[in-house]
Structure 1
């Protein structure tokens, strides 16, 4: 398929209405709102997530990042926050994904796959048919304190490319992206979209200059690329 439009960009770790406005102004297709996590940046209360999500204009997506894996807890989180997409940052069993789809039929589901080895391909394909998209990140859920995103680390893009080539659903690429490497990442992986948090921040705050440079890089470097 030829990439005739800008690669979708999800700006993650949004912590205020002003950060949301900056991201949307520069062309973000989606915003990530981080609920309670065992580690990582950008965590805000569910009350703040609901307030920010309510101010985001359609058709911009609002992704609730959740480390929950049980259906009832995820349904309750959605009820409290009203985001239009659930980003599942830890492994959720297939049966739970099916039940979640039934419980929240109008809510999109995005499963995060932490690309640690070639075995991540099998993990991704085992759940892809149950969700609306995959998001390939660089966390480490096996640690005593789980890393479930926001690490600022790049993973093996060759594995990510293989996942993208075989996935039946769209794939977002995350992990260590920044204005200086996003074009090469898109060239190598060919994702539907990219997801970025720490690469757009200075001293923890969303940096509008970095946001502008990120989108300029995509506009100047990605147009005309093809991916299968």
Structure 2
């Protein structure tokens, strides 16, 4: 297969053009997106990036590691599992992903009805995250999201902390002790966070513990709350 010529090979010294040489190929930023919240195995990436074939995924991962955007490493333990993770430089692409998302959400052809992977939805929450004003003490929520595109998969767990200074959400291996525990499909949680559907109208979303803490997480991370702020 003939490789695409880089913009640099046309004597284009623009840094944005060089960025596109690095991450502008089809699927590259989607793979990056799925690595922003932490390392994943090849099989995890193939599961989460629907539509990508193993040969293309292999090529994109090779390019990302060659460019220094990602690394491959072996986890300790008897399983000797290989994972891919972003470098410090690669993790800076979260800001790029957030900016692209904020720009694209204004598109008249934005597919708002399409589903999202758990990590993609949480990245959207991180993009919109803002301090929980008028709530000085930290409030915590564990969030378990089941991928609506593949409902047989186990839920992915996240830990959110809301304070008057900031709201943070991170992927975790296991849920911890929190003020509230929320479990939802990505379709229902997207309807709440991005679509603006009130939690009370989504009975399939489970909330155990302090419901006010769950509502606070929605207020601090939803697209609609940001638009109306």
TM-score (norm 1): 0.25
Question: Relative contact order, CA 8 A, sep 6+: which one is greater?
Answer: 1
Greater Rg over alpha carbons, structure: 2
